[in-house]
A = this chain, B = another copy of it.
Amino acid sequence: MQPRAKPSPEREAYYRRLEARDLSPLWEVMRELLSTEPVTKATPHLWHWAEARPLLMESAELISAEEAERRVLVLENPGMAGAHSLTETLYGGLQLIMPGEVAPSHRHSPAALRFILEGEGAYTAVNGEAAYMRPGDFVITPSWSWHDHGHEGEAPVVWLDGLDVPLMRALGTLFAEGYGESRQPTNRPPGHSYATFGHNMRPVGARHEAPYSPVFSYPFEATREALAALAAGSDPDPRRGFAMEYINPLTGGPAMPTMSTYMTLLPKGFATEPRQTTEAQLFSVVEGTGSAVVETGDGEVRLAFGPKDHFLVPMWMRHRIHVDEETLLFSFSDRATQEALGVYREAA
């Protein structure tokens, strides 16, 4: 790319005349507009469960479910102060629901995912159907689907929220609407969508033309079985270990069109080869301990993790992960968006 054009009084005068006409000289800014490699404000970061959980529990005393609407602690990327974002496109948060509470029904164009960290008895109702959630379950509340949460159990329930709010803000396509009641009516039994579409069958004549999976809830038991089978019958990918993606069983594509969601199994002692990709990932540690080493422009950052910790690997930073024991990592990224737009890339 070119060096900046030489300044001169004539040019400056010309530029002022351009400005008056809402025009500007590309050659003065092309180097900035077209960087040669991705530049992200996000930094590698780890949120310790041991620190986050007490703060989360404390929130239950400081604000009611009604007042909060969603009682969530946002995972703020230190490099993006005030942006309420993990990355340029993704948002993450830890949501707490106490027994008997309800998070009222609403819908919004940003897509949301839940990954259950702790507790039982809570449900998410999506488009007229409730899914009861247990740790390790993965639940989607796709773009513009009504959803509300409730808790019929006896102990706190916590889950990870992942949303594409920053992406939707960047696109401008933000819509949101309250349902007007705390609970939407349900018209199908709990688990109906999974039982109906999750067993490699589809109802003859049934329509599901939405651009997201008809399966709202992916139970941990099935996910774990899939990972165990993959590990038993194939070799790990040197850069990713045994990694599986949650899919829409009607297309084989991602469960929702904007976010890719994964569960990864790393065998005891496994150390990945370095990986560099345009997908930033937030990892939620399900089981196991280890560390991720991320290369930033300023050196390496080491993130030592244990169960229920969360850590972010920003885009295009080379990184590797080593685990001490067999480890399960849930993660999500915006790779689905990048692939839909033809710009996903991984360094060879």
Contacts and interface: CB of A to CB of B under 8 A. Distances in A.
Contact of A23 (B75, B252, B256, B316): B75
Interface string A242-278: 1111110111100011100011000000000000001
A33 B165 contact: yes
A52 interface: yes
A249 B245 CA distance: 13
A26 B154 CA distance: 24
Interface residues on A, range: 35 or more
B26 A174 contact: no
Interface stretch (A76-84, A117-125, A283-291, A298-306): A76-84
A334 B171 CA distance: 9
B233 A196 contact: yes
A198 B189 CA distance: 23
A21 B51 contact: yes
A338 interface: yes
A168 interface: yes
A1 B178 contact: yes
Number of copies: 4
Contacts of A223: 199, 201
B70 A27 contact: yes
Contact of A167 (B21, B69, B170): B170
Given A233-B188, A246-B201, A175 B38 contact: yes
Given A6-B67, A27-B69, A249-B252, A243 B342 contact: no
Given A196-B230, A202-B245, A1 B176 contact: yes
A170 B88 contact: yes
A55 B200 contact: no
A27 B240 CA distance: 36
Given A27-B70, A62-B11, A343-B143, A77 B22 contact: yes
Given A5-B67, A229-B195, A342-B212, A172 B251 contact: no
A148 to B, nearest CB: 14
A203 B237 CA distance: 10
A159 to B, nearest CB: 13
A226 B195 contact: yes
Interface of A: 1-2, 5-6, 10-11, 14, 17-19, 21-27, 29-30, 33-40, 45, 47, 51-52, 55, 58-59, 62-63, 67-78, 84, 87-89, 91, 93-94, 106, 108-111, 142-143, 165, 167-178, 188-189, 191-192, 194-196, 198-205, 210-213, 215, 218, 222-223, 225-226, 228-230, 232-234, 237, 240, 242-247, 249-252, 256-258, 262-263, 278, 280, 315-316, 334, 337-338, 340-345
5 cross-chain pairs, A with B, having the tightest CB-CB distances, nearest first: A195-B229, A250-B252, A170-B170, A26-B72, A211-B342
